[in-house]
Amino acid sequence: MEGEWSYKSLKVKEGFKPGSEHFQYFFVVSEGGQKKCNYCVWIEDEALSRFNNSKNFNAILDSHREDWNKWVKEKIDQKDFRNMVLLFDEHGQKEVDLDKMDKKLTME
């Protein structure tokens, strides 16, 4: 994981999915060393150009990290500890329960 920060009594580790060719950025939330949930920002390939014409993952992250950290904090404030994806596709954006997605997404 690339970064780590705290919010309330929780620790949040964040980073890109290792080796992924797609934009999949994870936030792993834990409390007392026990994982509570994963949040993920997933940008489908056909939506990448809305964020950065060069499709540079790091540039996209740098320009949107604050918004996505805010999303994670809102989920924590709502005590919504489901594994959730903030999915950006050709139709816009939506939140999807990770456990109910057709494409299974894991950190591995």
Long-range contacts of 19-22 (CB under 8 A, 24+ apart): none
Predicted confidence at residue 99, as pLDDT, reads 79
Rounded to a whole number, what is the distance in angstroms from the first to the last CA of the chain?
12
What does each of the 108 residues of the chain score in pLDDT, given as a tens digit? 579 999 999 999 999 988 888 999 999 999 999 999 999 999 999 999 888 878 889 999 999 999 999 999 999 999 999 999 999 999 999 999 987 776 655 555
Q: pTM for the whole thing?
A: 0.89
**What is the structure's pLDDT at 18?**
87
Going from N- to C-terminal start, the domains of the chain cover: 3-100
